Structure 1
Amino acid sequence: MSDMKPKPVRKSDPMVNLMSNSIYDLPTPVNLSTLWNSGSLLGLCLMIQIFTGIFLAIHYTPNTEYAFYSVVHIMRDVNCGWVLRNTHTTGASLFFMCVYTHIGRGIYYGSYLRSMVWLSGTSLLLSLMATAFLGYVLPWGQMSYWGATVITNLLSAIPKLGDYLVKWIWGGFTVSNSTLNRFFVFHFVLPFLMLALTVMHLAFLHSEGSNNPLGLKSNINTIPFHPFFTLKDTVGFVVLLACTSFISLLFPLLVSDPQNFIKANPMSTPTHIQPEWYFLFAYAILRAIPNKLGGVLAMTLAIVVLYMMPTLHHNIMMGMSFYPTSQMVFWFFLNSFLILTWLGSAPTETPFTEISQLMTLVYFLLIVTIPMLGKPWDTMIFRDYQES
């Protein structure tokens, strides 16, 4: 009689074994910090947005005559509808907070050198921004309507094709019922595209290996993902859900614009049109450039420049852990991002316009130079090594 013990199901069953190797037994660098929680938190945010969005779509009416009142109906008449909507709007803000933390960590520790992981993640960011913009229009409030009008009109800056693109997106000659219907359909579909991109992102991550604070190879010192990092992620989930509940139940106006609680009126332009806080840095860059086409290009480049970071890297080591100059420049870059976010909510007048132009220049200079600032340190260290 054989003394060999039977293999556990997670090892014997091919499908379960695949899932186990992807999560349960995944070899993970032992020195991952709390900043690596942002990836799992983003997955939780996506799930919250999808599930709350599906239930909200059941009661929403994508028609310019009824959209605003259907939102009022959700808030007042649907059982726990106000919790659903507040959770959805709060979840969007927390989603972007986790995304910006995730990107900042990736820049600081050189995660962009895992090129396919970084490129798929940047595509996820663009999809998220598109989804959030489309969703902001759906309540058909004052800021929704005028935000849609201003942002879609930016496409008219494209030579020759601009006007045709704007009319195609509008479905007519102005932001109307056709526009709202299109935005609702794409807002509903895009999260499922994001889900597919997330699967690709994770596949590339498991293929290329996770980064770590020291920038060492992932297979040098690893431990299983479970139970060490599942416990760590669970703590992050509890904190995120607590923050979502706290804001949704007690302070929903922290992440909502009161102007959007007024029904859209095409005949009355708000004094100061501005997007949600997570778009303010790009909005400040847009307004900083006097030329319309130049502003659109600069705003687009502010995000697209992330695709270029793997090619800009010229340092020997991956992250900034061993580059004091790069660390200092990174914090200057973070400050420029925060200042641009503040400037996006400021009126278009002196001195805010001039500060926006200065901060836009600083933003682009720093994000381009961060991946290559370690070169002098590499030269100095290599010279000292040769002399010793």
Structure 2
Amino acid sequence: MKDNVFLLGAVDWNRRLFDSLIPLPDGTSYNSYMVCGSEKTALLDSVDPCMADVLLSQITDVAKIDYIVSHHAEQDHSGSIPMLLEKYPDAKVVCTTKARGMLMDLLHIPEESFHTVEDGATLSLGAKTLEFIYTPWVHWPETMVTYLREDRILFSCDFFGSHIATSDMFVVDKGRVHEAGKRYFAEIMMPFRDVIGKNLEKLKKYDIDMIAPSHGQIYDDPAWIMDAWRDWVFAPPKNLVVLPYVSMHESTARMVDHLTTKLVDNGVRVELYDLTVTDIGKLAMSLVDGATIVVGTPTVLAGPHPLAAYAAFLANALRPRAKYLSIIGSYGWGGKTVETLSAMIPNLKVEVIDPVLCKGLPTKEVFAAIDVMADTIAEKHREQGFS
């Protein structure tokens, strides 16, 4: 990367699910970095334990590592530290004070192996100076990043990350990486948007020539990805309705189609997600921008369809900045779909627009009610100035 600064780690071309939850359509990487000073050597982050052998094979000729920097205690970054300590028993694990306890609990690293650092602390390697910056809730409470002063490199761990498996060290396709970065932000970082905003502001005082995340490619032109994160964190919602839905016997599907057409006629963009086939990462990306969420669901055993309930649970967990919410759907004899879904979204600070439910196939009266919903959404978007 630079003189005496090296990218190590492993590319996981075949992994398609992260945390048994998050789709990985393009695989991922676990980036580890080595910084060699004139006196000391530091390894920044490790790799997921499933690929520890790849990392260890890269350092067979490295006689000594003095420091192992753990930016984040989660296993995909720190899980191989115990194996590294077997090879380098005198190495010290450098981390935040909060991370020490977490690493002891999660990985059973002995207390005497740690060297904890406070926010803003520095560590000289000889001709290379590491500065540690606390970045809590990006995306766990113990996280930090490291700034290499002489080379102006920010080792950002999950900050500015993207799940992409590639042979390229540096970003070569900004469009692809922008989409992957937005997916990463949506799936992992969005619930912590407010705190992340403070951490973005904290980084303004640093001259950053390069960002080296722990997932994805290295940014040798970092301004554009930092601007993208500022947009995802600070910009208001857009003139967009996010419409996840499921339909069993076409009733809900007809309502969804009618609402979509009416919204588009009113100048409102719509992104539809058929929950029987959709990629939840794509849905999460839309939630970054959407001003309104409308859930479409039939009634199953007196409540919402389980896939619709999952979409509501996901939205509640991700805490998007949407301002409005509603429900459309159908039922056979009755139920408590609206009440059940409403109870599942306590984290969303939204105004609820009157739901539209129908018994069986929608009638002209139902379509008229959907027209009112679309007009209401469009008017509210205009009043807020969403574009």
Give the TM-score, by structure 2 length.
Answer: 0.24
More helix by share: 1
Larger relative contact order (Cα-Cα within 8 Å, sequence gap ≥ 6): 1
More strand by share: 2
Give the TM-score, by structure 1 length.
Answer: 0.24
